[in-house]
Structure 1
């Protein structure tokens, strides 16, 4: 009875909006089923859930260590910049979110002085790099432009520059492969993981050596759980991760349908097509007022359409919501 009430509640909420945004996606019953009263200390039931979720996330990332924190993916990025980056840093320029990496690197350079030099290089020019760096930092999926850079290509760049690789995997984690090739990767709970908003994560192999004279931005503060963690966001992931591939299938289906329907307007070749979203050279308009389109943080001549709107349907998704999109002549 309770499970049916949750299903009915979720179904009603998803009928009220049809979303083509980058995350969170549509509401799922699995998001709600895991929610319960909890506390970060002395609550063995919550600890069991947390261990299960973090273990699965480590398995997806392929890293030895994971730290969770309450906050957006941008919080995790700022912690990466301050705690991990040092020496010469190369930012792969792809759009709005890579510009954020550049800005965070500049701020970290002023704050703790471990970073000595920062350079940006356009993603289309990475094969031309000849300098040596200590770190390469990049977005495998740049949502603002619906662009994918294969992580294998980014790893090849890092090897050429004799650098470690850090990834802003906010829009790629779970959906794309090879995050294990990075030295550090950060992401959030509400995009390709289909969870509720509120949690961010950093996965890594080797402990950072930078000493941080701050509290909230020190990785160790979160690692040692010195503040309230993202308890409910983590709970919302428990049943999602148990059946993760079925949720991912909904994204794959929507990607296939939109690339077929708007095949004449695709901006990038297949190699640079992310699962999360698609950049079209045409302007898209909704057929219904309840359709919510993604609004990039930069001005584009076309449209970026995201594919999390049928997550609640899992493997039964047919991409039918794409029928609510039309070209704005």
Structure 2
């Protein structure tokens, strides 16, 4: 079974920590006096965060992090900043590095160091300080620790003050073999080397003929991908694109209808409110698709001119039915607009008959965040009642270049779109990845919010039992090298975790993540110690 790294929270883990602490710093390194309980409680125990290495339910290694001042090193050598050869602003102290002698083959030490650096970077620490026993100076050096100041302790147990930064870690053995975090986030996307290279090219003027040709090429590629007549490329996020759509809807007669079955449907409502649109809402429970009969029932009671909905509801993993919405809108003479931010590039899209559609560069298209799109199937004209930057017509009449634009971002997007010469292949790869992950999650005994036949293959929302914290689970997966989505406010409030399938992740890495996910979930489920 793989070794698993996690933050200690369970009583059984802390019991083993106290025993390992005693065996290491009383019996092996004579730093403290012995006692009959054969356990050692650190003087900063209540302030420590313990990162432990687990083999099944056994704690085989540990290291702890503490940021409260004064550090123990401050008491031994004075203020540590006066001795450090590098400037630091937010240091932490690392203490109690210990591994069971049976597992001192380097793997556990290495894993603890890697988990430590991930933890420190996530919390914004720029240096980690340690009193390293002189018996293990070579090991500390391999992990990237550098000596400073002078020895402390005594002849029986001498210690060298040492520091670790991201730079020194990268130069050590642990840093050189540390893999990048495996990305299961819905954004930002994992960027290929060719797209990185494209972004780093020398910028050139957005008023040049070269940029005009580049933009037209990208626009053609995008409209062909989704079967739309026009697309305008905006410099901003999907929020900008949806504001632009809201601006266009404000020009339509009569009131509209917005469909909500998740966080991003609610955000469409917020866009509409800020533009002062006249609209009604059909709201479904999160995780459930819309029923045609219910929409039709509402439409028959009032005269609407437009309908706005999210295609792939990222917050729940539900894929709403575009064909059904098209049929309803055609039958009742409504103009349909869609948020396809999370579905563009991940599933086949046919936007024929859709008035306005929003999309972005930084999700399934796997380019850099910073560009968003508004697709449209009718010609649009400038309107002075709209803010200049939100006026879709201003982009259209200017050939897509009304204001300053970044040649680097558009060049990177052009490179990313080369994957879509044969889009069906990309869609199938994402679908296979989704099936593999979904099966693994369900085999781990966890529940997916959306039913399979109404699910987007881009992301899944995992419902966690009350005795498993999504925050703790996500943090622990991060320590093991996996980035999952769990920190957005709506996920925290519901104790949900999400796994995105849009990024290029090798099958072996997926299986390792699923194994660690299962191991963490199957760990002792006694109440956490607070």
Q: TM-score range by the shorter chain?
A: 0.7 to 0.9
Q: Does 1:215 align with 2:388?
A: yes
Aligned CA distance change for structure 1 residues 208 and 51 (closer, same or farther; 3 Å): closer
Contact 2:206 2:407 in 1 (8 A): no
* 1:6-155 correspondence to structure 2 within 5 Å: 15-35=179-199, 36-85=201-250, 86=252, 87-109=254-276, 115=277, 117-123=278-284, 124-129=290-295, 130=297, 131=299, 132-155=303-326
What is the match of residue 50 of structure 2? Answer: none
SS in 1 for 2:494: coil
Counterpart Cα distance in 2 of 1:14 and 1:80: 43
Corresponding residue pairs, total: 307
The two structures have a TM-score, normalised by structure 1, of 0.84
Structure 1 residue ranges without an equivalent (≥5): 1-11, 110-114, 312-316
| Deviation larger for 272-281 or 213-222 | 213-222
Contact 1:14 1:26 in 2 (8 A): no
Q: Which has the higher contact order (CA 8 A, sep 6+)?
A: 1
Larger Rg belongs to: 2
What is the match of residue 9 of structure 1? Answer: none
Q: What is the root-mean-square deviation in Å for CA atoms of aligned residues?
A: 2.6
Q: CA deviation at 1:234?
A: 1.8
* 1:272-291 correspondence to structure 2 within 5 Å: 272-282=454-464, 283=470, 285=474, 286-289=476-479, 290-291=481-482
Counterpart Cα distance in 2 of 1:229 and 1:201: 14
Q: CA deviation at 1:309?
A: 3.4
Moved over 4 A (4+): 246-250, 283-286
Find the partner of 1:172 among 343, 354, 358. 343
Q: CA deviation at 1:40?
A: 4.3
Residues 30-57 of structure 1, C-alpha deviations (whole Å, 9 max, x = no match): 2123232233444333333322211110
Structure 2 residue ranges without an equivalent (≥5): 1-175, 285-289, 465-469, 526-530
What is the match of residue 253 of structure 1? Answer: 432
The two structures have a TM-score, normalised by structure 2, of 0.54
Aligned CA distance change for structure 1 residues 73 and 179 (closer, same or farther; 3 Å): farther
